[in-house]
Amino acid sequence: MQDSIRLFVAALLPEALKTQLEEQLAPFRHPSVRFVPSSNLHLTLYFIGNVPVQQLSAFQEKIQEVAARHAPFTLNYACTEPGPNQRRPRLVWARFEAHEAFSALSDELTTALATHPPKRRKAIPHVTLARFRKDVPLPEVLPIVRAEAPLALGVQEVALWQSELASPHPVYSVLKTFRLG
């Protein structure tokens, strides 16, 4: 039996938005880029990490309490770009515009779920679409792609996800969803 479980809290993406975001990846086709499977796309709010299986229900209760205190909100897509550091990117992400409600929800989840006092960080609303391979040089030019039509993500609920490390990609599964408000 498994002693611990790897967890994170994230918003689910509608299939139509996943398709629209994946369409933004055409300029990033290169041997150094590994695309994230569509089934793994999500908007991370807080990565919890490994926790004892016996604590799963306690984490679910905390997430439920936090979710109940936050109203639904909508994030507007900004662009698809290399990140988080433009000079030494690790990934390609669909970055959304900063939003006070996202920041407040992410901060409260971090405070409620962190097993150690969290480092101060500014949560950036994003969806990781691809990762750069470490064994292949990056392309010389890394584009910034903007959608032709506005894209938005309505966040009505959050989910507790399990992450199982596997190759070539981890396997993510939703354990439970929690309505906001």
Sheet holding 4-11, edge to edge: 43-52, 4-11, 157-164, 171-179
Helices (H), 42-128: 56-68, 100-113
* Confidence at residue 70, expressed as pLDDT on a 0 to 100 scale: 98
Total number of domains in the chain: 1
Residue numbers of the chain with a pLDDT score lower than 50: none
* Confidence at residue 100, expressed as pLDDT on a 0 to 100 scale: 97
* Confidence at residue 120, expressed as pLDDT on a 0 to 100 scale: 66
- Bridge-based pairing of strands 91-96 and 73-83 is antiparallel
Domain with residue 160: its CATH number is 3.90.1140.10
* Confidence at residue 121, expressed as pLDDT on a 0 to 100 scale: 72
Return the active site residues.
42, 126
| Domain that residue 9 falls in | 4-179
